Amino acid sequence: MAKDIGIDLGTANVLINIAGKGIVLNEPSVVAVDTNSNKVVAVGTEAYKMVGRTPGNIRVIRPLKNGVIADFDITEAMLSYFINKLNVKGFMSKPNILICAPTGVTSIEQKAIIQAAEKSGGGRVYLDFEPKVAAVGAGLDIFKPQGNMVIDIGGGTTDIAVLSMGEVVTSRSLRWAGDKMNQAVINYIKNNKNLLIGQCTAEQIKIQIGTAFDADPEKVISVRGRDIIDGLPKQTVVSATEIQSSLEDGLMSIVAATKEVLEKTPPELSADIIDRGIMLTGGGALLTNIDKLITYYLQVPVLVADNPLEAVANGTGILLKNIQEHSKK
């Protein structure tokens, strides 16, 4: 028998959950292609190591942008590679696949995601929304008639949703998330330190000293890159306070969007959210003090999920079980 699988098809990472086994794969959503032969050279972790370090004929592609498929063929090749690697297909049957998408995707984008999963070897493909699946994975019981609020900050999108009785009541999807945070760090260091750095370096700075609120000015990191003026390698020092100011505009757009969703939420559900708080999931939830920032501006308690990076993938496992039970009835 083929095993059912849940896929968190993220802009930054792909996580795959096999029914009964849990998360078995977590790799970057990156594919390296040889432009001369159009052949895929590497996928996932191997391809990520090549970012910013390849010769002219090798292109490193991130097939998903802002949570949706930007390059259909490459996404399909990437999914096929991951699914084949797991060896989940049965002799005669194909696995059912539950795949997640941001709340803001159009019906055309939804079709593209389903089609990519079907072509990569799936049987029946189900699509569900990321914040809903993240909420389930973070341990919230979204199937009762009570309000639950989730902010899922991924690589390409930030999804904000209020859920009740298993459905999204109000939501917003922003194209400002982890990747844009990295870009903000790159721009800040370029404009204020005359230093060019790459995506991987920006990611490391964000992880090590990135702060959303109340940054410690004593926290500093030395950064290496290329001097804009003379083109030579150079090193400089950046503080947590500077990184906080580089992220400020984007983080405030998340606060504003969350406020907007709360304003559209029915009052009974709003009362539940004040009691239960807002749950933060996704890689962006790991940014230091992001919970304090949202609490400060919205006066609502904010909790970070136990394992925010895996919340969506864990949620697919729980929802797949529900699908299996319903299909047996």
Weakest mean pLDDT among 31-35, 66-70, 148-152, 268-272: 66-70
Which residues make up each annotated binding site? 11-13, 155-157, 203-206, 283-286
Q: How many domains does the chain have?
A: 2
Q: Do the domain assignments include residue 175?
A: yes
Quick one: 223 and 89 in the same domain?
Answer: no
Quick one: 186 and 240 in the same domain?
Answer: yes
Taking residues 91-104, what's their average pLDDT?
Answer: 80
pLDDT at position 327: 60
Span 270-287, pLDDT tens digits = 999 999 999 999 999 999
Q: Do the domain assignments include residue 168?
A: yes
Question: 89 pLDDT band (50/70/90 cuts)?
Answer: low
Span 27-39, pLDDT tens digits = 999 999 999 998 9
pLDDT at position 326: 62
Q: Do the domain assignments include residue 228?
A: yes
Taking residues 52-57, what's their average pLDDT?
Answer: 84
pLDDT at position 240: 95
Quick one: 115 and 259 in the same domain?
Answer: no
Span 131-142, pLDDT tens digits = 999 999 999 999
Q: Do the domain assignments include residue 53?
A: no
Span 175-184, pLDDT tens digits = 999 999 999 9
Which residue did the predictor score with more confidence, 324 or 237? Answer: 237
Rounded to whole angstroms, the Cα distance separating 170 from 184 reads 29
Q: At what angle do helices 178-193 and 199-209 cross, to 10 degrees?
A: 100
Query: Domain containing 209 — which CATH number?
Result: 3.30.420.40
Q: In residues, how long is the chain?
A: 329
Q: Do the domain assignments include residue 58?
A: no
pLDDT at position 76: 87
Q: Do the domain assignments include residue 45?
A: no
Span 1-21, pLDDT tens digits = 567 899 998 888 999 999 888
Which residues make up each annotated binding site for ATP? 11-13, 155-157, 203-206, 283-286
Residue 258 sits in which domain range?
Answer: 140-304
